[in-house]
Structures are given as C-alpha cells and as structure tokens.
Amino acid sequence: MTKRIAATLSLLLLASLTPAMAQQFPVWEWLLHNYGSKTDDTPVPSMKMGNHMQMSLKGTAQTGDEQRADDIVAAAKRVLARYADVNTAVQDGYKPFHPSGKMGEEVHYTNYRYARLEQQHVNYDQPGSILYKRTPHGMEAVGVMYIAPQKATPEQLNAVAPLSIATWHRHVDFCGAPRSLPVAQQYGPHAQLGPQGSIHTEDACKAAGGLWIPVVFGWMTHIYPNAKSPSEVWAGMDMHMDANSDHD
C-alpha cells in the first residue's frame, strides 16, 4: 500500500509540472524545491561552514549526556560489526548515494525506509545510513549517520544525540542545476551550480538559471565509533567541507 501511495504522489507531481519544467530540471530537485523548507533559518544554534554547510553549535552539558553518548557509540559499533561486509547492507536494502568511484571517498549507503522511520523515532541499531570508505581492499564500514527532520528544534536534535557532544549538520543554499549541465561541471573545482557550486544565494541562483533549494534533506550527525581519537568519534568542525568553499 505504501508503494502505491508513493507511486501515486510521484505521478501527481509529474502531472503538475509543465513539459518545460519536467525537461529542464531533475524531478528530485523539484521535490526538494517544492516540498522542502523555504528558508535555511533554524531555531538550532548554528553557524555556516563554507557555502553549503550549516553546523550546530555545542550546547550546555546536561546530566547523563556522556552516558547517552557512550550508549549511542556502542550501538554504532554493533551496526558496523553487523554490516562489515557491504554486501550485507545491500541485501538489507541499503543503496549507495552518489558514489564517485574515487579511492578514499566516503559513501553513504542509505535505506530510505529506515531513514523515514528514523525521523519519527530513532532506532540506534538500525540507522538510516551507514558510511563506507572506499579502500584498495574494498568498502570498509567506518561510520553511522542518524538523521532528524529539516525543521527540527534543538530539543528534538538533543533527544536523538546530545548537542553538548554531537555535532549536527545539514546541507543548505543549494542551486539546483538543469539537466543540460554536465555532471562534471556540478562537482568540479570551478563549479557554479550543484551541491559543490560557488553559488549560494537565491538571487545569484536565479540569475544563473538554477533552481533555488534552501535546505537539502534534514539534519544529520555522523559517528565514527572506531576512530583513533575520541574527538574524531563524533564528526565535528574538522569534517570535510564542500568544494569551492572558503574553508577548503
């Protein structure tokens, strides 16, 4: 029944687009543009990192935060042990999100059903996404990602992972590229449009013929339970930034 509803909604969306719109931009960009947040404003204390990253600021420590964080890390370790073989994750419905094939890249393997459920109630032993690193020996399970809704409050984020320890982030100020723009121009070092583009304001996006998307997906937090340094377990301010940013 759920698949039928999703298929019906997709057909209705496609029917609502003019032929020119449907041909100009990918459907997923229209979905984010039409049904996502209309601004990157948030009640979560945060700061911008680069052109397209919004990071939560550390909150005041509360009683029990350290124990909660330890419990979440322990759950993440169990996840990595269970899905050490990437084929196991694939068999369980996890799919790679935009892999480049480059050695050393980190690929998000996402199960979209789990990800949807996670925004309602987090199951630390069954995350929406598992992070794999491409190595000469194959895909290595290195981390876990938990997510929260785009419009989450500080209290909602803190309920999933304590703000005094976890660093949450979300991707913002995205200028969607038309279908006609080669993928290489969206991810290259001199890209203007796309997830790594230099354009990060609505006016500039419209002038370039792009589709303005203030917020891409929801809030996310990465955990690397087997990191050598405790400070690297919860990905923070040193996490990889977008290309074309001032912090590259």
Binned at pLDDT 50, 70 and 90, residue 241 comes out as very low
Of 30-39, 187-196, 230-239, least confident by mean pLDDT is 230-239
Is 69 or 197 the better-scoring residue by pLDDT?
69
Q: Give mean pLDDT, residues 163-192.
A: 85
Q: What does pTM read for this prediction?
A: 0.80
Average pLDDT of the chain to the nearest whole number: 84
Of 13-27, 117-131, 135-149, 227-241, least confident by mean pLDDT is 13-27
Pairing of strands 169-176, 211-223: antiparallel
What are the residue ranges of helices labelled H in 93-171?
112-118, 154-160
Q: Give the tens place of pLDDT for each residue, 49-108.
A: 888 899 999 999 999 999 999 999 999 999 999 999 999 999 999 999 877 778 888 999
Q: Which residues contact 193 (CB under 8 A, 6 or more apart)?
A: 175, 176, 177, 181, 185, 186, 199, 205, 208, 210
Query: Which residues, listed in sequence order, are joined to residue 169 by a DSSP beta bridge?
Result: 55, 220
